[in-house]
Amino acid sequence: MNRKRKKKKILFKIMMFFFILFVLVITGVFIYIKTAPKLEINSANSLMFYDQKGEVFFQGNESKQWVSLDQISDYLIEATINTEDKNFYKHHGFDFLRILKATYINLTSGKTEQGASTITQQYAKNLFLDFSKTWKRKWDEMWYTMRIESSYSKDEILEGYLNTINYGHGKYGIENASNFYFNKSAKDLTLAEAALLTGIPKSPANYSPFVDFEVAKKRQLLVLDLLVKNGVISEEEKNNAYQEELHLSGKEEQEELSTIMYYQDAVVQELKKIHSIPESYTDTKGLQIYTNLDFNAQRNLEKTIDETIPEESKIQVSAVLMNPNTGGILALIGGRDYQSSSYNRAISSIRQVGSTMKPYLYYAALENGFTSSSAFTSEATTFTFQNQDDYSPKNYNDTYGNKPISMATAIAYSENIYAVKTHLFLGSDALINVAKRVGITANLQDVPSLPLGTNEISIIEMAAGYSAFANLGYKVTPHLIEKVVDKEGNVLYQASNKKELVLNSSLVYILNNMLTGTYDPDYIDYNYPTAIGLSSKLTHKYALKSGTTNSDNWNIGFNPDIVSAVWCGYDDNQSLSTSEYKYAQNIWYQSVENYEKAQAKDFWYQKPDNVSAVFVEPISGKPATQNSPKQKLMYFIKGTEPRETDQTFDEKSSNQVGT
């Protein structure tokens, strides 16, 4: 007990030292700031993000209905101050005692249970900063907080804060929110209404009454309890307010999504990389940013993830829906819940891609004379090299056909032996060259396991790479932003959406049709296609490839209309369980099926004139005969159709690839 008490005393002394140092630094900075030019907040970071329908889904310091403090209900003002920052009128931007208390509680409990951001800090973040939680952003927040406090009165700061915070459903500012939820001006809000609205900004995705009325009421009660505790209202007033019937008038024009912040983060990051827009514009000028966001696709993707992965699971997810014809990112998810983890895996993470690397290899093979029927023997194989160790890859579950199989079968089963034999047969440059041509910028290692996806690549690059297959060989640039316009209506940036032909369209057509074999029952033989469970679930035709490692699970698929890439795994590279390998596949198929429901027709590709369709035996790739147990229509460049006399590649003595 004494050791524990002594430990707490030491911890307290350390905290006091850093606290005093912090206060001294802040004091010095305040003196410096007093002599600096006044910070302009009226136009600071006036960013408005629009989805592809032209509807606002984020708005920073921009309000159509700005109201002064005397036009806002005293109940709302008191509720906000007592809930967010009860010492607002006493401190100079930072509540040091609250910071000290919150730090002590969080350190001793081992959890982040309390925050200490003041209203001014929150206002600074809303005005000038992006949505990340990096140390740099924390320092920037502190700097802007001090500058705001030194230049503006408390009433001016509070007025600006109440006119710019997010009350959910695209409503920024108290006047907009009051009209939306209760069809009245902010000055006419009752205590009950004010307490309900005050509770929303902490997490609009959870506390909006249109999202969950019962949760919103619990949050309202917490606000009312704080007002009683701080002597603003009586217990009787609290009870009357809580029991008051609320007449909500707003309609849920746009759902509040917990994952939309990942898309917003990605937009901010992309905006910073547009060299034609000076960084000063994003700080001080009003910008209207038109994005590719498809709100319905984002909503359905989030809903599918929530329904697929158990709430208690710690597994993470990233997902991207992309228009393959333009590279426009329609939906993006960088994690399961932004509130619990703002780390954006869609734009910041690279992971081993597993067998989703193989389509690049098989396109290279087609380009080098292979066909859908080209055969290698499926058997346990050890590859021997002169200057490196032997390599013995294995198929999933150690399953082998011990017979020649076609490329189409190798794709359906995701055969590792066939892939490595093909890779060594062609030479490593063939795969690397194709990957680079479609936009993969990762440093690809020249190793025998390269086609098995041992390299780490980002999900956006993989989606863009598959887009080159989805639009028959045209490379596109992935992007979220279509256009940026300033307050005067000047177009500062316009995405070009240029396409560059980097692959042979006829060969891509052949590859895409082979990629439908991953869920085709015609390939059931000594093994099952990797996505055979989807054969009865898919109502549209897609090319699909999965990828698995011990800690990563991918599904990437497409048609001419959409590319969907989904990754599931643990941030700490923990191994996945058998059941967890199904998550990415289920999220993938539901995301594309939901997207295609809204489309007018079923999209697939028209056969090029130089491509022929021939019935073959799918497993062997040999020409089909009347006695063939299975026949499947497969595609070939005219003049390369299979013949009965075609040899298996690894049976040719001059082309032996393994021993």
**Assigned token pair, 641:** 């159709």
CA torsion through residues 473, 478, 480, 485, sign: negative
User: How far is it, in rounded angstroms, from Cα 412 to Cα 515?
Assistant: 7
User: How far is it, in rounded angstroms, from Cα 400 to Cα 20?
Assistant: 69
Q: Catalytic one among 355, 406, 591, 620?
A: 355
Are 395 and 378 contacting, i.e. CB atoms less than 8 angstroms apart?
Answer: yes
Residue 265 lies in a domain: no
Same domain, 237 and 342: no
Range 302-311 contact pairs with CB under 8 angstroms and sequence separation of 24 or more: 302/257, 302/258, 302/259, 302/333, 304/586, 304/587, 304/590, 304/591, 304/594, 305/259, 305/333, 305/336, 305/587, 306/336, 308/583, 308/586, 308/587, 308/590, 309/336, 309/568, 309/583
242-267 confidence digits (pLDDT tens):
999 999 886 544 556 778 889 988 99
CATH of the domain at 525: 3.40.710.10
Residue 170's pLDDT band, with cuts at 50, 70 and 90, is low
Residue 164 lies in a domain: yes
Same domain, 372 and 236: no
Place of tokens 């209309």: 561
Place of tokens 């009245």: 184
Residue 268 lies in a domain: no
User: Is 506 one of the catalytic residues?
Assistant: no
Are 538 and 400 contacting, i.e. CB atoms less than 8 angstroms apart?
Answer: no
| Pairing of the two strands 611-616 and 632-637 | antiparallel
User: How far is it, in rounded angstroms, from Cα 49 to Cα 43?
Assistant: 16
| Pairing of the two strands 56-59 and 500-501 | unpaired
Residue 542 lies in a domain: yes
Q: How many CB atoms lie within 10 A of CB 410?
A: 27
pLDDT at 321: 98
Same domain, 194 and 85: yes
Same domain, 417 and 566: yes
User: How far is it, in rounded angstroms, from Cα 602 to Cα 593?
Assistant: 11
User: Is 564 one of the catalytic residues?
Assistant: no
With a cut of 70, say whether residue 107 has pLDDT above it. Answer: no
With a cut of 70, say whether residue 45 has pLDDT above it. Answer: no
Residue 656's pLDDT band, with cuts at 50, 70 and 90, is very low
**606 or 258: which leads in pLDDT:** 606
Please give the residue range of the domain that contains residue 366: 330-655
pLDDT at 590: 96
User: How far is it, in rounded angstroms, from Cα 541 to Cα 354?
Assistant: 23
Residue 254 lies in a domain: no
Are 187 and 71 contacting, i.e. CB atoms less than 8 angstroms apart?
Answer: yes
* Arithmetic mean of pLDDT, 40-68: 72
pLDDT at 150: 76
Same domain, 20 and 136: yes
User: How far is it, in rounded angstroms, from Cα 223 to Cα 94?
Assistant: 22
User: How far is it, in rounded angstroms, from Cα 531 to Cα 542?
Assistant: 12
User: How far is it, in rounded angstroms, from Cα 165 to Cα 150?
Assistant: 21
End-of-domain residue from the set 243, 269, 288: 243
Residue 249 lies in a domain: no
pLDDT at 136: 59
DSSP H or E stretch at residue 566: strand 563-569
Same domain, 615 and 467: yes
* Arithmetic mean of pLDDT, 449-462: 95
Same domain, 72 and 206: yes
* Arithmetic mean of pLDDT, 39-48: 62
| Pairing of the two strands 611-616 and 563-569 | unpaired
pLDDT at 598: 76
End-of-domain residue from the set 243, 271, 296: 243
pLDDT at 654: 37
Q: Catalytic one among 46, 63, 78, 84?
A: 84
Which of 104-118, 286-300, 484-498, 594-608 reaches the highest mean pLDDT? 286-300
Same domain, 30 and 158: yes
User: How far is it, in rounded angstroms, from Cα 358 to Cα 487?
Assistant: 47
**342 or 593: which leads in pLDDT:** 593
Q: Helix (H, G, I), strand (E, B), or coil: what is residue 545?
A: strand
End-of-domain residue from the set 243, 271, 304: 243
Same domain, 206 and 354: no
Segment among 15-29, 325-339, 472-486, 596-610 with least mean pLDDT:
15-29
Q: Half-sphere exposure (CA, 13 Å, Cβ side) for 430?
A: 22
Segment among 89-98, 349-358, 498-507 with least mean pLDDT:
89-98
12-23 confidence digits (pLDDT tens):
778 777 778 877
Same domain, 207 and 341: no
Segment among 22-36, 40-54, 165-179, 544-558 with least mean pLDDT:
22-36
* Arithmetic mean of pLDDT, 100-117: 56
With a cut of 50, say whether residue 408 has pLDDT above it. Answer: yes
Residue 144's pLDDT band, with cuts at 50, 70 and 90, is confident
Residue 280 lies in a domain: no
Residue 485 lies in a domain: yes
CATH of the domain at 114: 1.10.3810.10
* Arithmetic mean of pLDDT, 459-488: 95
Alpha-helix residue ranges (DSSP H) falling in 355-415: 358-367, 407-413
Task: Please state the domain count of the chain.
Answer: 2
Alpha-helix residue ranges (DSSP H) falling in 244-278: 260-272
Kindly report the pTM of this predicted structure. 0.74
Segment among 345-349, 356-360, 405-409, 488-492 with least mean pLDDT:
488-492
Same domain, 378 and 238: no
